[in-house]
Chains A and B, each alone.
Chain A
Amino acid sequence: MNIIVDILKATIPAGTPLLLGALGEIYVERSGILNLGVEGMMIMGAVSAFGVTAITNNVWLGILISSIVGGGMAFIHAFNSITLKANQTLSGLSLTMLGLGLSGLIGKRYIGMPLPVKLYNLPLGALKDIPIIGPVLFDQDPIVYMSYILAFVFWFLLFNSRFGIELRSVGESPDVADSAGINVSKIQYLAVIIGGMMAGLGGAYLSVAYAPAWIEGMTAGMGWIVLAITIFSLWRPERAIIGSYLFGGIRVLQYRLQPFGISPSLLNMLPFIFTILVLMIASREISRKKISAPSSLGVPYFREKIL
């Protein structure tokens, strides 16, 4: 029993950066924009959160700046793909490369520096004493609690608000949305920037809470797992919770199962096997319709000229 609680308790923080990134990317893709730059925005979030925290001794300021930086990076992608209608795949990929390179450059001076302040676990009084659920869910650090709230807010807004309806209709059929009087570019800009802020936050979680240290390339491919979770969750925030903790849990299990003689190489492959399977299913046109991917995902919207 203890072992299970222990594994679940480790799963939550392992899945948190994935959850934060995936919630954002769901909004981005729901608006019809594909942003492959998650890895780049995450790592920029990580380095800026670390840098600002190291300079100001204020973790929360670092976290705030990281989401602004993530949002700023996303703005570049938004400008490319919405205003200039450039190729979204290329723009996103270059964002990833830009982020990895730039963060290395900025982060040089922070290598080997311990953080003066960091986020510690904050057990939530009475909730913590609930058997099993208490220690697993309510003995974590503040960003984890924030991620629970954000997941709920993202789900609620997407399906129960005017903004959510507009967002979804823009991703499904921008011309219909446009003729219904929705400002397509505005919604898309908003979604892409929210996505960037969430990715930045996910990166900040790594550098000020999970690691906590700045190490070049510390996201180590998490941005790509975020993209897989986005598809895995079929663009629904509530399923992203399951997806993120599942993928986080697989990463934790790799190490817990090693002593039982289960090949670590096999477990090491699991997240990627899942990702490939999901991508295979999701990329088939027929199933694509069935699983309701945003119909205009990755297609630039050209407004018809009314003569």
Chain B
Amino acid sequence: MKGKFLVVLSLVLLVSLVLNTAYGVGAEKKLRVAFIYVGPVGDYGWSHAHELARQYLIKKLPWAEFLPPAEAVPESDVARFIDRFVREEKADVIFTTSFGYMDATIEAGKKYPDKIFFHCSGYMRSKNVGTYFAELYQVYYLNGLIAGALTKTNKVGYVAAHPIPEVIRHINAFALGVQEVNPKATVDVRWLFSWYDPSKARMAAESLIADGCDALAFTEDSPTVVTVGEEYTKKGKQIYTFGHYSPMQKYGPNSCVSGQLVHWEVIYKDILEKIRRGVYTNTNLENVDYWWLLKEKAVELGGEFGVPINPKFVSALKEKKVVDPVFGKISVYDLIMKRLSQMKANPEKFDPFTGPIKDQTGKVRIEAGRRATHDELWNIDWFVPNVIAKIPK
């Protein structure tokens, strides 16, 4: 009798435990989540995008408690902020969202072995430190197709923040797209040496336009390039621009054709749900690395959410025809949509970084038929031939 009672009791306990963890019945302890940003959340670029994701999660994940984020944290100072989040605010999960936080995050992982850390854009992991990144190169390639089709001067410009692999990879992906539909066009680059300086971005954009570029893409954290494009367009000189990171079409309704958009919330939601379900713990993150692309819906093509191409430019792209080895004669618009759906549904089928790809010196970097590996893309330090700028040493 007593044995039966114990079995029943333990069953009840087990069921309630399962219910507790799976459905949040009863007084569940909320998961405390902290974010550390490198910039002000008002930069309209990187930190802003992470903050938008956090705002979204606050609405969607009632079982998590989101602590007020720490913004504009210098990379040398991040350890102190992690200490504060762990000791005073009792954070369970901490997201550190800048490459420069890498070493400090790994150190913090050792110091607080019972906490979970996720570091954005780094390559070092440990048993309680995972990494994640929403990668845009596929989208840059698609924008390259658009730029190559629309340019009248056959000169395409790119305003770039810093000569680091991420930016070089994006310039190459963009240039590969340009090359595919317009082999005569070149891609010129101006470096800002700053992630965020609207007045420098304006000067760089104007200098590219002065050199004859009429399509401009960029990697930096402000909508300046789109604004400049809109100004020239209004004055009668059509400049095509591509937004970056945040929806920027509203800054240039007559200039912004498309762009790259990011959905960090998709990655954050997946991580937090897996932590909650016990899939990720403080002992098994050694190999947890998110490298999420179009397929995972972590990134999107467009200058506005849900608008892949500004309707103003759709007919021009439909009129422009190219000959594709697989699809035959096809309009650029259809080519973009085909590539987009290929990369969304089955990235194995098509990748922009498929050989043969040479660098500027003519050396073959990716042999015919081979696809660039994650590590090759991650460490890329050479330009494809139709880029006419040099990488500053």
Chain A contact residues, CB within 8 Å of chain B: 3, 6-7, 10, 14, 104, 107-108, 111-112, 114, 120-121, 206, 210-213, 215-218, 220, 222, 251-252, 254-256, 258-259, 261, 263-265, 268
Contact = CB atoms under 8 A, between A and B. Distances in A.
Contacts of B40: 104, 216-217
Interface stretch (B188-196, B271-279, B349-357): B188-196
Given A111-B48, A215-B198, A255-B190, A264 B43 contact: no
Would you call the interface of chain A mostly helix, strand, loop, or mixed? helix
B203 A259 contact: no
A259 B222 contact: no
Contact of B202 (A6, A114, A210): A210
12 contacts: A6-B210, A111-B42, A211-B227, A213-B198, A213-B222, A215-B44, A216-B41, A216-B42, A216-B43, A254-B203, A265-B193, A268-B193
B198 A220 contact: yes
Contacts of A10: 203, 206-207, 210
Contact of B203 (A217, A220, A255): A255
A255 B207 contact: yes
Interface string B218-243: 00001110010000001100000000
Contact of A213 (B191, B206, B251): B251
Contact of B44 (A112, A256, A259, A268): A112
What 6 A-B pairs are tightest by C-beta distance, nearest first? A216-B42, A255-B207, A216-B40, A255-B204, A111-B42, A220-B197
B254 interface: no
Q: How large is the interface on B (under 10, 10 to 19, 20 to 34, 35 or more residues)?
A: 35 or more
Interface string B197-221: 1111011101110110000000000
Nearest to B206: A10
Contacts of A212: 227
Contacts of A3: 210
B250 interface: yes
B251 A220 contact: no
Contacts of B211: 259
B197 A213 contact: no
Contacts of B190: 255, 258, 264
A104 B193 CA distance: 23
A263 B392 contact: yes
B389 A213 contact: no
Contacts of A222: 199
Nearest to A252: B203
B198 A211 contact: yes
A220 B196 contact: yes
B302 to A, nearest CB: 15
A259 B190 CA distance: 8
Q: Which of B191, B198, B390 has the most CB atoms of chain A within a 10 A radius of its CB?
A: B198
B389 A259 contact: yes
Contact of B43 (A215, A251, A258, A261): A215
A112 B193 CA distance: 23
A215 B42 contact: yes
Interface in B142-191: 188, 190-191
A3 to B, nearest CB: 7
B97 interface: no
Given A254-B203, A256-B210, A264 B392 contact: yes
Nearest to B248: A112
Contacts of B188: 259
Q: Which of B40, B222, B223, B246 has the most CB atoms of chain A within a 10 A radius of its CB?
A: B40
A13 to B, nearest CB: 9
A171 to B, nearest CB: 31
Given A220-B198, A251-B203, A254-B203, A215 B389 contact: no
Contacts of B388: 259
A211 B202 contact: yes
B207 A206 contact: no
Contacts of B204: 255
Given A211-B222, A256-B207, 16 more contacts: A3-B210, A7-B210, A10-B203, A112-B48, A112-B223, A112-B250, A211-B199, A213-B222, A213-B251, A216-B40, A220-B200, A222-B199, A251-B199, A255-B200, A258-B191, A261-B390
A218 B202 CA distance: 12
B235 to A, nearest CB: 8
Q: Which of A111, A210, A263 has the most CB atoms of chain B within a 10 A radius of its CB?
A: A111
